[in-house]
Chain A
Amino acid sequence: MWNICWTRTGTSDIKAGKPAPKGEERVLDWHLYLHLMKFPLIVAPIMAAVCSLLSVFVVLRRMAMISEAVAHASLGGLALSLLLGYGWGFADSYWGQELIAGVFCITTGLLIGLFSRGREVTVDSAIGIFLVASVALGVLMLYIRRDLPGPNKMPLEPEAVLFGSINSVAAADAWLISILAALVFVVVLGMLPSFIYTTMDEEMARVHGVKTWLIHLLLLVMVSSIIAVAARMVGTLMINAMIILPGATARLVSRRFGGVMIISLVVGVLGVTAALLASIAVAVANVPFVRSAPTGPILVLTLFLIFLAIWFIRRVRLFFHRRQKGRLAAAQAEHV
């Protein structure tokens, strides 16, 4: 249980990590805190749900590295919008940043697909090339923008771009992620058999008349868009975990496609919500050293621990299953 008392103290003091006045117990008004955190608490599960749905296809199609490159490209996209924002107000606005970062991510994803189509550049090389290029470009643009003279200062620090801040999401983020999530769910569930077939065996799907190029394009655009939007909240370094870990965990548990999808959604939504609540709890309870820790890493580590726990349980079960099988075989051999 969290060590919290129900009296009144300023939430801003706690969030800022200020120590409690001497002789006074650190306490807060939970209602006020939850009111302040209502948008993160709405946005995080929605973001987790849409990432977990796409995660199944990303993992099964072995596209994890592509999403990694696109996630890093979001740094380049955000940096580009900030650099353009120096002289163009729209690029510095919320929608300007989302639009430019989204276009940058989608273009990177499509370029990886285009470069790896021929035989000259392999997929892994194309991913590696675009990953480092977009990070290098992003970091360069961020620092150029920061050091540009004049009153028009950069609205974000480079670290904020890397680690994100889910605690500071607002109504616009909630709307954007909700609309995007609804679109992704409609597209994926509406075309589910084609998505499954293309994921399982693209060549066979083509032979059976599935427009695999369209499915591939849709998946790339959806993953890139979600990464571009979500990267602002959990950071460009962390977003990829949300796209990979739920699907990878679900694959350990179920051998049915429907089962993998449901478990991925459950793991993603519950894991992210639990992580967010844990993050709030450590801030509220003023836990030393971690009270001001960013939510992104806590969220990723929660998903990682769930993955690790399920992997461990699976290995143990497999070990005992094999041992039992070995004993049965030995007993049968002895009997014969």
Chain B
Amino acid sequence: MTDRHDHHDHNDSHRHEKPGMDLVSHHGDDDVCLNQVSFAYDGQFVVENVTLHAPHGTTLGIIGPNGSGKTTLLKLMLGLLRPNAGTITVLGMSPAQACARGDLVGYLPQRHELDWSFPISARQVVELGLVGRRGLLGRPSAADRRQAADQLAAVGLADQADVPIGELSGGQQQRVFLARALVSRPRVLFLDEPTTGVDVGAQENLQELLALVKEQLALTLIVVSHNLRAITSTCDQIACLNRTVHYHDKPSGLSREMLSRVFNCDVEYMLDPHGHERH
């Protein structure tokens, strides 16, 4: 990993050079801010009046049952969808502006949303993470290739660099995509159900890897998951979402009553059997 501070300064200088940035709603140390955000599909609200913030260097976990609007909210934060109401800022810019830079935002999507027979090697996948930064006509330089190789080595897959992506195991594929998300040295990393479809051993490896890169790169993490146990143990803040935000604070303040209301079911099985501290 390269020195995070150098990169941070570099990004800051770029950020202030960029014209047309909306710095009004960028609250102090918050890297991601959502203010009264609503979004509807065909007139039906999927996300309504959501206000969230993620300070720099923290991990915000967004939990909720299936169909609660978690992935929609993530897509709004990534600029893939536009809100019907409210404002979203990522590092003081609109999500689309932040993504257009190519080196501020990282994203690890859900595992199953890809054609696994696509003819591409692990190394090439990681190199794709630098395409946006180079621009439409940019070619990968020797430094880019080295950076991609280093990133692949950092996730422990240096020896699998030339293996087609479809021939790797689920855990290895997730690590390749994590390397792609991190290769441009982003400042905010969005993760959508990062451990879904991955076996238990690989899940633990991935969690450890995430904790390590977060510390090394001083990342702000936004994690969307329905895995309550994993999220409560790793996040600094939690947001319980079921169309709107029911709770947004530290995990320690989360009660079983709140979870039952959000998930609309008995949440005993979601928590560890000795989870008395949750009360």
Interface residues of A (CB under 8 A from B): 60, 119, 190-191, 193-194, 196-197, 200-201, 203-211, 214, 251, 254-257, 259-260
Contact = CB atoms under 8 A, between A and B. Distances in A.
B76 interface: no
Contacts of B127: 193
Nearest to B125: A200
Q: Interface SS of chain A: helix, strand, loop or mixed? A: helix
B57 interface: no
A209 B101 contact: yes
A208 B140 contact: no
Contact of A256 (B79, B103, B121, B139): B121
A251 B129 CA distance: 24
A274 B42 CA distance: 53
Interface stretch (B130-138, B193-201, B240-248, B252-260): B130-138
Contacts of B118: 60, 200
Contacts of B78: 207
- From A191, A193, A197, residue with most partner B Cβ within 10 Å: A193
Nearest to B100: A209
Contacts of B119: 60, 251, 254-257, 259-260
Contacts of A205: 128, 131-132
B184 A200 contact: no
A51 to B, nearest CB: 19
A207 B99 contact: yes
Q: Interface SS of chain B: helix, strand, loop or mixed? A: loop
A208 B109 contact: no
A208 B120 contact: no
A127 to B, nearest CB: 19
A190 B109 CA distance: 28
- From A60, A201, A207, A210, residue with most partner B Cβ within 10 Å: A207
A191 B137 contact: yes
B136 A211 contact: yes
B107 to A, nearest CB: 4
Contacts of B86: none
A305 to B, nearest CB: 23
Given A193-B139, A197-B128, A260-B119, 8 more contacts: A191-B137, A193-B138, A201-B114, A206-B99, A208-B99, A208-B107, A208-B131, A257-B119
Contact of B128 (A190, A196, A251, A255): A196
B164 A208 contact: no
B58 to A, nearest CB: 21
Contacts of A210: 131-132, 136
Contacts of A255: 119, 164, 166-167
B46 to A, nearest CB: 13
Contacts of B136: 191, 194, 210-211, 214
B102 interface: yes
B107 A204 contact: yes
B80 interface: yes
Interface of B: 41-42, 78-80, 99-103, 105, 107, 109, 113-115, 117-121, 124-125, 127-129, 131-134, 136-140, 164, 166-167, 180, 184
A136 to B, nearest CB: 32
Contacts of B132: 205, 208-210
B107 A207 contact: yes
A14 B32 CA distance: 76
A112 to B, nearest CB: 21
B124 A119 contact: no
5 contacts: A119-B41, A193-B138, A196-B128, A256-B119, A256-B121
Contacts of A260: 119
- In order of increasing CB-CB distance, the 3 nearest A-B pairs are A209-B132, A209-B102, A208-B132
Contacts of A196: 120, 124, 128
A194 B99 contact: no
A210 B125 CA distance: 15
Contacts of A214: 136
A224 to B, nearest CB: 21
Given A201-B114, A204-B109, A208-B99, A194 B131 contact: yes
A119 to B, nearest CB: 7
- From A190, A196, A214, residue with most partner B Cβ within 10 Å: A196
B79 to A, nearest CB: 8
Given A60-B118, A257-B120, A193 B128 contact: yes
Contacts of B101: 209
A206 B120 contact: no
Contacts of A259: 119
Given A205-B131, A210-B131, A256 B80 contact: no
A206 B132 CA distance: 8
Contacts of B139: 193
Contacts of B134: 193
A69 B253 CA distance: 58
Contacts of A197: 128, 131
B131 A256 contact: no
Contacts of B164: 255-256
Contacts of B102: 208-209
A176 to B, nearest CB: 26
